Amino acid sequence: MDFVSCTLVLLLTCLSIHTFCLLLTRITKPNYKLPPGPTPLPIIGNLLELGQKPHNSLAKLAKIHGPLMSLKFGQITTIVISSATMAKEILLTNDKFLSNRNIPQTVSVVNHEQYSLAFMPISPLWKELRKICNTQLLSHKSLDSSQDVRRKKIQQLLDDIHKSSQIGEAIDIGTTVFKTTINLLSNTIFSMDLIHSNGAAEEFKDVVTNITKLAGTPNVADFFSVLKMLDPQGLKRRQTKNVRKILDIFEDLINQRLTTREGACVDTNKDMLDAMLNISKDNEFMDKNMIQHLSHDIFVAGTDTTTSTLEWAMTELIRNPEAMQKAKKELEQTIGFGIPLEESNISKLPYLHAIIKETLRKHPPVPFLLPRKAESDVEIGGYTIPKDAQVLVNVWTICRDPTLWENPTLFSPERFLGSDIDVKGRDFELVPFGGGRRICPGLQLANRMLLLMLGSLVNSFDWKLEGGMKPEDMDMDDKFGITLQKAQPLRIVPLKLSN
Binding residues: 440
Q: Smaller CB distance to ligand HEM: residue 101 or 415?
A: 101
Q: Which residues contact 339 (CB under 8 A, 6 or more apart)?
A: 459
If binding is defined by CB under 6 A, does position 310 make contact with ligand HEM? no
CB of 95 to ligand HEM, least distance (A): 9
Give the residue, chosen from 253, 301, 378, 490, that forms a contact with ligand HEM under the rule CB under 6 A: 301
Cα angle: 328, vertex 491, 489; to 5 degrees: 115
CB of 448 to ligand HEM, least distance (A): 9
Give the residue, chosen from 81, 335, 369, 404, that forms a contact with ligand HEM under the rule CB under 6 A: 369
If binding is defined by CB under 6 A, does position 433 make contact with ligand HEM? yes
Residue 130: DSSP 8-state: H
If binding is defined by CB under 6 A, does position 349 make contact with ligand HEM? no
CB of 86 to ligand HEM, least distance (A): 14
- For residue 75, count other CB atoms closer than 10 A to its CB: 14
> Which span (201-209, 302-310, 318-326, 403-411) binds ligand HEM, by CB under 6 A?
302-310
CB of 423 to ligand HEM, least distance (A): 8
Q: Which residues contact 306 (CB under 8 A, 6 or more apart)?
A: 177, 181, 446, 449, 450
If binding is defined by CB under 6 A, does position 90 make contact with ligand HEM? no
Residues 277 and 97 sit within 8 Å (Cβ to Cβ): no
Beta-ladder partners of 486: 478
Q: Smaller CB distance to ligand HEM: residue 298 or 349?
A: 298
Annotated binding residues for heme, written as ranges, equal 440
Give the residue, chosen from 438, 465, 480, 486, that forms a contact with ligand HEM under the rule CB under 6 A: 438
> Residue type for 406, please?
E
Give the residue, chosen from 35, 54, 232, 441, that forms a contact with ligand HEM under the rule CB under 6 A: 441
Q: Is the Cα dihedral 77, 80, 86, 90 positive or negative?
A: positive
Question: Distance (Å, rounded) from C-alpha 480 to C-alpha 469?
Answer: 25
If binding is defined by CB under 6 A, does position 439 make contact with ligand HEM? yes
Q: Smaller CB distance to ligand HEM: residue 107 or 335?
A: 107
If binding is defined by CB under 6 A, does position 306 make contact with ligand HEM? yes
Residues 443 and 423 sit within 8 Å (Cβ to Cβ): yes
Q: How many residues at the interface with ligand HEM, by CB under 6 A?
A: 26
Question: Distance (Å, rounded) from C-alpha 399 to C-alpha 396?
Answer: 5
CB of 146 to ligand HEM, least distance (A): 12
Question: Distance (Å, rounded) from C-alpha 156 to C-alpha 213?
Answer: 27
Name the residue among 442, 378, 478 with its Cα closest to residue 70.
378
Which x/- pattern over 121-150 shows residues binding ligand HEM (rule: CB under 6 A)?
---------x-------x------------
- Strand pairing category for 76-81 and 390-393: parallel
Question: Distance (Å, rounded) from C-alpha 436 to C-alpha 432?
Answer: 12
If binding is defined by CB under 6 A, does position 391 make contact with ligand HEM? no
CB of 430 to ligand HEM, least distance (A): 11
Beta-ladder partners of 172: 491
Beta-ladder partners of 372: 391
Which x/- pattern over 274-293 shows residues binding ligand HEM (rule: CB under 6 A)?
--------------------
Q: What are phi and psi of 298, to 5 degrees?
A: -65, -45
If binding is defined by CB under 6 A, does position 363 make contact with ligand HEM? no
CB of 138 to ligand HEM, least distance (A): 6
Residue 426: DSSP 8-state: S
CB of 100 to ligand HEM, least distance (A): 10
Burial (CB count within 10 angstroms: exposed 0-12, middle 13-18, buried 19+), residue 1: exposed
Q: Smaller CB distance to ligand HEM: residue 298 or 385?
A: 298
CB of 48 to ligand HEM, least distance (A): 26
> Which span (54-62, 202-210, 216-224, 364-372) binds ligand HEM, by CB under 6 A?
364-372
Residues 129 and 117 sit within 8 Å (Cβ to Cβ): yes
| Residues within window 201-230 making contact with ligand HEM, judged by CB under 6 A | none
Can you say whether residue 381 is alpha, beta or left, with left for phi > 0 and alpha for psi between -120 and 50 degrees? left
Instruction: Name the site residues for ligand HEM (rule: CB under 6 A).
Output: 117-118, 130, 138, 297-298, 301-302, 305-306, 309, 365-366, 369-370, 432-435, 438-442, 445-446
